[in-house]
Amino acid sequence: MWVEWAKDEASLLNDSDSESVEKLYERGISEYLSIPLWRSQIWDAYTQFEQSILQTIDQSDIQAKEKQVQRIQSIFHRQLSIPFANMKSTLLASKAWEVEQGNSLDAESDNVDGISSRVASSYRKAEEMYDARAHLEEHITRQGISESERYQHFMGYLDFEKSFGDPARVQSLYERAITDFPVSSDLWLDYTRYLDKTLKAGNVVKDVYSRATRNCPWVGELWVRYLLCLEHGLASEKEISAAFEKSVQCTFSTLEEYLDLFLTRVDGLRRRISSARGDDVLNYSLIRESFQQATDYLSPHLKNTDGLLRLHAYWACLELKLNNNLTAARGVWGSLLKTCGSMLEAWQGYIGMEIALGHINEARAIYKRWYSKRFSGTGSEDICHAWLRFEREFGTLDDLDHAVQKVMPRLEELRLFRLVQESKSLTEVTDQREQPLKETAREKRKSGSIAIDEQSPAKRQKSTQNQKKLHEKENTRGLKLAEANDGKLVKDTYSSKTRLYTDQCTAFVSNLNIRAIDEDLKLFFSDVGGVTAIRILHDKFTGKSRGLAYVDFKDEEHLAPALAKNKQMLLGKKLCITRSNPKRGKRESGALTTSEHDTNQSGIEGSSASKESVEISKGSSVAPQVPHSRKHFESIQLKGKNTFAVPRNFKPLGWTTSKPGTKKEEDEKPKSNDEFRKMFMKS
């Protein structure tokens, strides 16, 4: 591209005006070490030039002539010591020239006979070097291969040259590689690393970094190392600042590259201010401006990250130690907490600075501010333990007691919350394990119901009577247990089951989140106290919560404030809390109906009581104190086929369709064999 540009410029100029084209060539050769830009066959041109000078020397001036002959011989000897592709032709040209000068040599032979031993040794060494590199040169110059293959061949060639330890040859090969791959960031990074390792500093390295950042401006690492190279080379602040301003205008792929660039700039300013050499004394305001520029750019993108914390911690440290300004350092931490107030490490860093300075009261004030925040997960627990540890190490006994009074309620709350979460996790695992068993049981019930029609009416009737006897026996046991506990019984209107209420100081809770468990209600009423039992109502078929619960209290003193928590939120739902009184609405028969219960309540309390009555009538489990209510039925093992699912419109032989309470009610009883015989005889 540089050659084509120079040719275009030359075609537009006169022969006398070539200065601009020469400057263009100078710019080109500063960018790339390219042979076509210099001149092809430069050695041949050089020797021809010196030979032309020899011909112009007067033959009588023997001393000048000998001196020029020695110069030409030196050029040939230098050329023969370099591994070129046309080394043999150079050797033949050198011998032919020696013959012209009167030396007796075999100009037709390509061996080194007749030339000096020193030149012959250099030639053999160069020939060996060329033979070792011939296949590598062939690989990088081969036509028809892909760019990736050519790049890999260059890297292999570079590794080969590095093994010989000749920096000049390695650098020359790097320059050839970047001529073919000028925008390969990996190649520029590898090239600059090699120069940093071998040359350390100097104009050569600085020039390469300048070219690298122009060819690959999107690589933040190149800019960072360019700034360090300028600092190593003792560049002026104006030159370093100009390079930094160019770098921040580039587009990098990650925000971490911008952070590294800003920190590198601050590092350089800190070192220059600390050294304070000569007249190049810098003001601390440059550091503050760099930090402010970094935070303005990075804060919206690195919120609550370690990178932003690292930047502010470094800033506060320099404000304190280099600028000796405690107020500015506290301001830096304060601005960080406004952006990253949920980072525990930010609070710990601020407190650590105050403790290091011996400002215990200021550190305690920060702990109190920190404690007032609400953090998710284990954050609150970490704060509590950190405050207690701080008071044990730096505070008085009163300070420790005050911290304990503050943090212990929250620690207990967090412990209960963790137990609830563990219980939920255990329940989910248990449900997942029991799901296959439930599906198997469902399939068995489904297959068992198909066989119902195969049973005889007499067998179904006998099974139904056995079940009735079993339920009566269980209800009798429940009544006896209730009498022994002086409990209050309320009969279920729909299912004819008896529920036990052991205490009149009971609150009925409705609109409860179906995910709520006993521990949630216990925690909700923890400020009231006096909770003796909690019973959440569940659907008897699905087992899921119905959003209703009973909460028993010791006495009226605890029940009253519990009722006052009506309409408060729990797990995202507003609770409705009323007094539970199952004695209200009883008829003389002992059954509780919905309508009678509703008439004894008013407003919200009436509606809640109505819900309570309806849930009682639906048979929800509300009396866990009765040991026979559920576990006993689960322990019963039924044998044989299912005899409960009798068709709705099917009546066994001997039953009539008369309604109860009529004069034919006696016909509802099953007929004996004699009665059937008499009926048939009459007909």
Query: Are 80 and 92 within 8 A, CB to CB?
Result: no
| CA pair distance 616, 481, nearest whole angstrom | 19
**Long-range Cβ contact pairs of 352-356 (< 8 A, separation 24 or more):** 353/316, 353/320, 353/329, 355/390, 355/394
Would you state the structure tokens that stand for residue 115, as one six-digit string? 């030339």
| CA pair distance 592, 603, nearest whole angstrom | 20
pLDDT score for 605: 40
Query: Are 316 and 337 within 8 A, CB to CB?
Result: no
Q: H-helix or E-strand containing 531?
A: strand 531-538
Amino acid at 404: V
CA 572 to chain centre: 28
| CA pair distance 68, 618, nearest whole angstrom | 124
Query: Are 417 and 376 within 8 A, CB to CB?
Result: no
Question: Each residue of 620-645: pLDDT tens digit?
Answer: 434 444 344 444 444 444 444 444 44
pLDDT score for 481: 42
| CA pair distance 452, 454, nearest whole angstrom | 5
CB atoms within 10 A of CB 485: 12
Query: Are 584 and 600 within 8 A, CB to CB?
Result: yes
pLDDT score for 60: 81
| CA pair distance 86, 88, nearest whole angstrom | 6
**Non-local CB neighbours of 173 within 8 Å, separated by 6+ positions:** 154, 157, 158, 161
Under DSSP, is residue 257 helix (H, G, I), strand (E, B) or coil? helix
CB atoms within 10 A of CB 448: 14
Query: Are 340 and 304 within 8 A, CB to CB?
Result: yes
Query: Are 223 and 213 within 8 A, CB to CB?
Result: yes
| CA pair distance 373, 79, nearest whole angstrom | 79
Q: H-helix or E-strand containing 573?
A: strand 573-574
Would you state the structure tokens that stand for residue 283, as one six-digit string? 């003001």
Q: H-helix or E-strand containing 341?
A: none
Which alpha helices (H) appear in 199-280, and where do they start and end?
203-215, 220-232, 237-248, 255-275
Q: H-helix or E-strand containing 32?
A: none
Amino acid at 367: Y
**Non-local CB neighbours of 279 within 8 Å, separated by 6+ positions:** none
DSSP letter for each residue of 466-512: HHHHHHHHHHHHHHHHHHHTT-EEEE-TTT--EEEE--S-EEEEES-
- The ranges of the chain with pLDDT < 50 are 278-279, 451-452, 474, 478-503, 585-668
Give the bridge partners for 258, in sequence order.
Answer: none
Sheet containing 506-510, strands listed edge to edge, beginning at the edge strand earlier in sequence? 531-538, 545-553, 506-510, 576-580
Query: Are 508 and 577 within 8 A, CB to CB?
Result: yes
pLDDT score for 407: 83
| CA pair distance 237, 266, nearest whole angstrom | 13
Distances in whole angstroms, Cα of residue 466 to Cα of each of 141, 448, 452 = 100, 19, 17
Residue 270, sorted as left (phi over 0), alpha (psi -120 to 50) or beta, turns out to be alpha
**Non-local CB neighbours of 636 within 8 Å, separated by 6+ positions:** 470
Give the bridge partners for 591, in sequence order.
Answer: 491
Q: Compute the Cα dihedral for 58, 63, 64, 68 and give only its sign.
A: positive
**Non-local CB neighbours of 55 within 8 Å, separated by 6+ positions:** none
| CA pair distance 347, 334, nearest whole angstrom | 10
CB atoms within 10 A of CB 319: 23
Distances in whole angstroms, Cα of residue 558 to Cα of each of 482, 536, 563, 573, 668 = 25, 20, 9, 23, 54
**Non-local CB neighbours of 169 within 8 Å, separated by 6+ positions:** 161
| CA pair distance 622, 507, nearest whole angstrom | 13
Would you state the structure tokens that stand for residue 173, as one six-digit string? 């090969």
**Non-local CB neighbours of 590 within 8 Å, separated by 6+ positions:** 489, 490, 491
CB atoms within 10 A of CB 346: 21
Query: Are 227 and 243 within 8 A, CB to CB?
Result: yes
Rounded to the nearest 10 degrees, how much is the dihedral formed by the CA atoms of 665, 669, 671, 675? -40
> Residue for token digits 């320059």?
175
Would you state the structure tokens that stand for residue 606, as one six-digit string? 């009436």
DSSP letter for each residue of 64-110: HHHHHHHHHHHHHHHHHTS--TTHHHHHHHHHHHHHHTT----TT--
Q: H-helix or E-strand containing 593?
A: none
Say how many residues make up the chain: 683
Residue 538, sorted as left (phi over 0), alpha (psi -120 to 50) or beta, turns out to be beta
Query: Are 229 and 240 within 8 A, CB to CB?
Result: no
Q: Which residue from 550, 494, 546, 493 is spatially nearest to 525, judged by alpha carbons? A: 550
Q: How much is the pTM?
A: 0.54
